[in-house]
Amino acid sequence: MRWLLVILLAAFGSMNSWQALAQAPGTTRVKIKNPDPAKWSGSSSFFNSSTGEFICRPLACPVPSKVTASISSSPTRNPDRQALAKLASQIPEAMSQANAKAAGTGRKLERISSGTTTIRGYPAIVQEARVDGEKGALYLSKATMFVKSALVSFSSYSKSLEVARRNRSAFVQAMVVEDTPIQ
């Protein structure tokens, strides 16, 4: 019955926002809101309401930009800081492996930064990268947040690193969280 509610919310919900309900141990409801519907056109998958993509409208951003968001169940409500740091320390190696796989395609990945932090009071892993390809450089600014029983990820892409950062931040700030703690 719960899955039917999620599908109905995805089908009849506003195109400017989408929702996903997380499962036990407690219930965390995360709503990703479009921070500026006049600037961003957005959509979510009808069959998977826990993903969404927002494209900056023509001439609304200084350079073409896109933000993707996803919500899934978190492995824990309170991740250990050392475990997060260990996970973040694996990003450079993962980038090197991705670079090796992309070598034949003419694309090159360059890690700018990665690490752990706290965003809006939630533990997070952040990373920034530059992707060089046929059409020039593209920047990624990504945050993976452990929001109680939900794992929320925002990936912002732009031809400017500063714009990618600013767009990611706008969507993070527009996120609405309702949590029912474990009793």
State the architecture of 2-180 in CATH terms: 3-Layer(aba) Sandwich (3.40)
Please state the rounded mean pLDDT for residues 50-72.
93
Give the pLDDT confidence score for residue 77 in this predicted structure. Answer: 87
150-173 pLDDT per residue, tens: 999 999 999 999 999 999 999 999
pLDDT higher for 1 or 74? 74
Give the pLDDT confidence score for residue 29 in this predicted structure. Answer: 87
Give me the chain's average pLDDT, please: 83
Q: Are 69 and 32 in contact (CB under 8 A)?
A: yes
4-45 pLDDT per residue, tens: 333 333 333 433 333 444 344 467 888 888 999 999 998 765
Residue type, 16: N
Sign of CA dihedral 157, 91, 75, 122: negative
pTM for this model (two decimals): 0.80
Q: Say yes or no to pLDDT of 2 above 50.
A: no
29, two tokens: 């409801």
Domain boundaries, the chain: 2-180
Q: How confident is the model at residue 85 (pLDDT cuts 50, 70, 90)?
A: very high
Q: Is 175 helix (H, G, I), strand (E, B) or coil?
A: coil
144 class by beta-carbon count within 10 Å (0-12 exposed, 13-18 middle, 19+ buried)? buried
